Amino acid sequence: MGLLNCNLPPMKLSILMPVYNERTVVERCISLVLTAPLPENMERELVIVDDCSTDGTFAILERLAAAFPQIRLYQHPVNRGKGAAVRTAIEKATGDFSLIQDADLEYDPSEYPRLLRPLLDGHADAVFGSRYLAGDQSRVLPFWHSMINKGLTLVSNMFCNLNLTDMETCYKVFRTDLLKSVPIRSDRFGFEPEIVMKSAKRQFRIYEVPISYHGRTYEEGKKIGWKDGLKAFAVIFKFWLIDDLYAAPYGRGVLNNLTGTPQYLRWLAVKLRPHVGDEVLEIGAGIGNLTARLMSRRKLYVAAEKDPLHLHALRNRFLRTPNVVVQRIDPANASDLAGLENCFDTVLCLNVLEHLDDDGRVLESLAATIRPGGSLVVLVPNVPGVYGSLDRKMGHHRRYSQATIRQLLTMHGFAMESVGSFNKVALLPWWAYGKLFHAGRISKLVLKIFDKSVWFWRRLDVLMPWPGLSLVAVGRKPASPDAPVSSMVSHETTRDVN
C-alpha cells in the first residue's frame, strides 16, 4: 500500500505502547514502529508505558528513549495490567490520533496507513483492524483460541448492537480528543470490550479494515489466557448496564442516561410539539434526544451546542438529515448569535437557563433571533425548595417557579402565552435524592422503572395536587416592534402542561 498523499495541515499520530516483560522483542518492535510509513504531513510520537517489567525490559527502553526523541517513556511502580498502561498512555498522548500498539510483534506497523485512511478521510472516529476480514496473511492459530475470540466478539456485538468481526483486536485507532473523553476502568485485558462498548454507546463512527496477524503461542510469550476471556464476558455485561461514558464530570451527562428513557422523552416531546414552528433554533441540543423527536417536518432545524463532545454526537446523529443543521453556539456569548437576527419562528431553550450565570442577558440575545410574532419555548426545573445535591451535580444555578419564569420572560420582551408544570410524580423522588440522601446521581435502574411506568403517571399528572418537577413556558415576541408587551400580557394563561 502506498502512502496517503493528503493535502491536510500537519498532524501527529500518538502510538500508545503498553510493555511488560518483552526484552526479546521490544527493540525490534520499536524499530518497526519508528520507521513505519505515515502520511507526508504526519509526525509521530511513541508513548511507551512500562508496566513494571522485571526481566530487564525497562533498561532497554531507557536506552532507546535516550537515542530517539520521538519516544516518551513512563513506568508504573507496580504491575497493574494492560488496561492501566493504556490509560496512562492516553493521558500522555498529544497527537491528533492515537493508535494502540502491543510490543510483541504480533501486529505489523507497516499497516498504519490502512488504519488511518478512514480517519483522514473524515469518515470515522475510530478504526479497528480485523484479523478475520479477508486481507493479508495471518498465522494459523489454535482452533479454540480463535473460537473464544469470535465468541467474545459475538456476545459484545449482541450487547452493544455493532457488527464487528474482531472486538479483541489490539489495533484500535481513535481521534485523540474522543479517546481522552472516555473513562477507562479496566486494568487488564478488559480494556478491549470496555472501549468497544463505550464507543458504541457514544455512537462513534467505527470502521473495520483487514490486517495481517502473526500471533504468538504461549511458549513464545503470549500472556492473555482463558481466565481473561471469562472476565471479558463480565466486562461486557457490566458496561452494558452502566453508562460510564465521560471522563470529565459532565453536569449534563444525565443527557446520555435519558436516551434510556424513551417514554419520558416522548411525553416531553408531546408537550413541546404544539409550540414548535417551521424554522427552529434549539439552544443546548445536547446529544439530540429531543432534536430527533421534534425536527420531523420542519423546514429548518438548527441544533446548537457549545460542548465539543455533544457537537460531535449531534453531527454523527444527523449526518444524513438534510433539514437539520448542527452549529456551535454558546448562548452566553452574544457574538455566537450574530447574523441570526430574525431567522427563526421558534427558539427552544430546553434545560439551559438554569445553567447560566445571567439568564436574562441570554434571553435578550435569543429574542433578537426570533421573528416578530415568533415563540420562545423554555423548559426549566421547577420548585426552588427542592434544590439540592442533584441540582449542584448537574450544574444548576437555580430552580424556577411559575412566577419567576413569567417575570423573567416579560422583562425581556415576551408576552406570555402559557406557563405550567408537568411530571409531578418525580418531585418527591427528586427531593429525596437531592435533599434527604444528598445523592449525586439517579441510578439507571430507577430511571428505567420510571420510564416503564410513564404511561400510568402521565394520566395521573393532572390529578396530583402538587407542582411538577419541570416548567414549560411559552412566550411570544410582539408582532409589531411598537406593540407594548404589557398590552399583550392580559391574554396570558397559566395552566398545567398535561
Look at residue 447 in the predicted model and tell me its pLDDT.
83
Lowest mean pLDDT among 5-9, 304-308, 391-395, 466-470: 5-9
Task: Please check the confidence at residue 2 and state whether its pLDDT lies above 50.
Answer: no
Q: What is the average pLDDT across 324-335?
A: 95
Write down the CATH superfamily of domain 254-494: Vaccinia Virus protein VP39 (3.40.50.150)
Task: Check: CB of residue 295 under 8 Å from CB of residue 326.
Answer: no
Could you tell me the pLDDT band of residue 238, with boundaries at 50, 70 and 90? very high
Residue 255 has pLDDT above 90, yes or no: no
* CA pair distance 184, 260, nearest whole angstrom: 22
Strands 300-305 and 370-381: unpaired
Strand-strand pairing, 324-328 and 300-305: parallel
pLDDT value of residue 153: 94
What pLDDT does 139 receive?
60
Distance of alpha carbon 161 from alpha carbon 130, whole angstroms: 18
Q: Is 233 exposed, middle or buried (0-12, 13-18, 19+ CB in 10 A)?
A: middle
- Mean pLDDT value across residues 294-315: 92
Q: Within its chain, how far is the Cα of 99 from the centroid?
A: 20
220-228 average pLDDT score: 58
pLDDT at 66: 98
Q: How far is the C-alpha of 174 from the C-alpha of 310, rounded, in Å? A: 17
Higher-confidence residue of 161 and 142: namely 161
What pLDDT is attached to residue 487?
Answer: 35
Q: What is the mean pLDDT of the chain?
A: 88
The size of the chain, in residues, is 498
Residue 427 pLDDT exceeds 80: yes
The reported pLDDT for the residue numbered 394 is 87
The whole-number pLDDT of residue 162 equals: 96
pLDDT for 422 beyond 60: yes
Give me the pLDDT at residue 71, please: 98
Output the CA torsion sign for 413, 414, 415, 420.
negative
The mean pLDDT of 62-84, rounded to a whole number, is 97
pLDDT at 207 over 70: yes
Contact between 152 and 178 (Cβ < 8 Å): no
Count other Cβ atoms within 10 Å, centred on residue 112.
27
Task: Give the phi and the psi of residue 362 in degrees, each rounded to 5.
Answer: -65, -40
* Per-residue pLDDT at 498 exceeds 60: no
- Is there a contact between 201 and 243 (Cβ–Cβ < 8 Å)? yes
Beta strands in 51-199 (DSSP E): 71-75, 97-100, 126-130, 172-175
**pLDDT tens by residue, 96-153:** 999 999 998 899 999 999 999 999 998 899 999 999 886 665 666 677 777 888 999 9
The three cell numbers locating residue 136: 493479508
Residue 208: CA count within 13 A, CB half-sphere: 18
Q: Please give the residue that has the higher pLDDT: either 131 or 258.
A: 131
Give the pLDDT confidence score for residue 495 in this predicted structure. Answer: 43
Neighbours of 68 (CB within 10 A): 12
Query: In the CATH scheme, what is the homologous superfamily, with its name and number, of domain 11-241?
Result: Spore Coat Polysaccharide Biosynthesis Protein SpsA; Chain A (3.90.550.10)
Mean pLDDT of 263-268: 93
pLDDT score of 6: 46
Give Rg (Cα) of the chain. 27
Where residue 406 falls (left for φ over 0; alpha for ψ -120 to 50; beta otherwise) is: alpha
pLDDT for the residue 244: 84
Grid cell listed for 409: 420572560
Q: How far is CA 176 from CA 75, 80, 92, 179, 315, in A?
A: 21, 23, 11, 5, 18
Give the cell for residue 64.
532507546
Helix (H, G, I), strand (E, B) or coil at 425: helix
Instruction: Give me the residue spans of the domains in the chain.
Output: 11-241, 254-494
Helix axes 57-67, 26-35, angle to 10 degrees: 30
Q: Return the bridge partners of 44, or none.
A: 13
27-37 pLDDT per residue, tens: 999 999 999 99
Q: Per-residue pLDDT averaged across 307-330, rounded? A: 91
Residues linked to residue 49 through DSSP beta bridges, in sequence order: 18, 74
Q: Which pLDDT does position 149 carry in this prediction?
A: 85
| Range list of β-strands (E), 26-125 | 42-50, 71-75, 97-100
Tens of pLDDT, residues 176-188: 999 998 999 999 8
CA distance 290 to 298: 14
pLDDT band (50, 70, 90) for residue 369: very high
Q: Which stretches of 132-256 are assigned E, i.e. beta strand?
A: 172-175, 206-210
Count of helix runs (H) and strand runs (E) in the chain: 19, 15
pTM of the predicted protein model: 0.73
DSSP string, 286-338: TTSTTHHHH-TT-SEEEEEE--HHHHHHHHHHTTT-TTEEEEE--TT-GGGGT
Cell of 236: 461486557
Q: pLDDT per residue over 434-462, tens digit each?
A: 999 999 888 777 888 898 899 999 999 99
Q: Which pLDDT value is given to residue 134?
A: 67
